[in-house]
Amino acid sequence: MYYLGIDVGSVSTDLVIMNEKRRIIDQLYLKTRGTPIEAVKEGLRQLGKKYKSREIDGICTTGSGRSLAAAVAGADVVKNEITTHGVAAAVYDPEIRTIIEIGGQDSKIILLNDGVIRDFAMNTVCAAGTGSFLDRQAERLGLAVQDLGAYALRAANPVRIAGRCAVFAESDIIHKQQLGCSMEDIIAGMSKALVRNYLSNVAKGKEIEPKVCFQGGVAANEGIRRAFEEALECEILVPEYHKVMGAYGCAVIAQEHIEEENKKTRFKGFEVGHDDISTDTFECTDCSNHCEVVLLRSKGRQIGCFSDRCGKYQATDIKLSVSV
């Protein structure tokens, strides 16, 4: 039997199918493209071509769109990204003590002690330490984002790029181009700037101890990995499935939940990938909060409700084990 993990982020939607021995047997890394419902449905449709719904014993969702995905797919558990990335790293290597996670729109540091999360932090104000900054610069330089790492590794003399702000960093990159600096040196300098931004903002005041694990889509960039190794003076581990570690942690949590509770899964089946799902939004005027309520509907009935502070519009048939 298998367990399904879904991680819905602003840039990517990741799905993992894991077997009972906690081995990943399938994974999907899809672009969210601003439509998380469609991304989840697309993932379910693709997996539904290879697996039967009855083979799924449990499902968990995470990410910024975790509640939405839970309503669409019928999740047994909903967890935040900190928990799922921490669980995934602890299963991958129990000796990991620091997790560096850099995604498309946010970055995190998670500190572990014997596999238990003891501290964490996330970026709050600047995109300079995230994957979206690299995407933007790759597009502006006319390169594929996956080629940035190779350029950085060929650099002879990386230039100094301001790392405290995405706007200042881009201005600095343009200035270095106008000075005739090589593309390799500029990209290597940009990689070091991203690492400085991360260490001085996200990781500020945190005690980074080895083993250090690098997760998220940016971990594929060898230039960033080397910049972290030089700055921290230690080896940086990059798991084979670094892009989908959040979804993998979800699958592990789903397995633990189902086995501990001895319950049947609420998974609705891969067939929901073909359902028409619509949303309705309205402002509730019953109190001074004036909540902007979002209702999720499929086949003529409500399958989810979000943003109502008092919970009066929640569907009665959706009872999730939510821990945020």
For residue 284, the 8-state DSSP code is -
pTM of the model: 0.88
Name the residue among 86, 98, 10, 97 with its Cα closest to residue 248. 86
E-assigned strand segments in the chain: 2-8, 12-19, 24-31, 56-62, 77-79, 98-102, 107-113, 116-122, 212-215, 236-237, 277-283, 292-298, 301-306, 321-323
**Cα separation of 97 and 116, whole Å?**
9
- pLDDT score recorded for residue 320: 43
**Cα separation of 151 and 138, whole Å?**
11
Q: Which residue has the tokens 């109502």?
A: 308
Q: What is the pLDDT along the chain (324 residues), one digit of tens a residue?
A: 899 999 999 889 999 999 999 999 999 999 999 999 999 999 999 999 999 999 999 999 999 999 999 999 999 999 999 999 999 999 999 999 999 999 877 899 999 999 999 999 988 666 666 788 888 888 888 888 889 999 999 999 999 988 677 778 888 889 988 999 999 999 999 999 999 989 988 999 999 999 999 999 899 999 999 999 999 999 999 999 999 999 999 999 999 999 998 889 999 999 999 999 998 898 989 899 999 988 888 988 888 888 888 888 875 544 444 444
CA terminus-to-terminus distance, the chain: 27
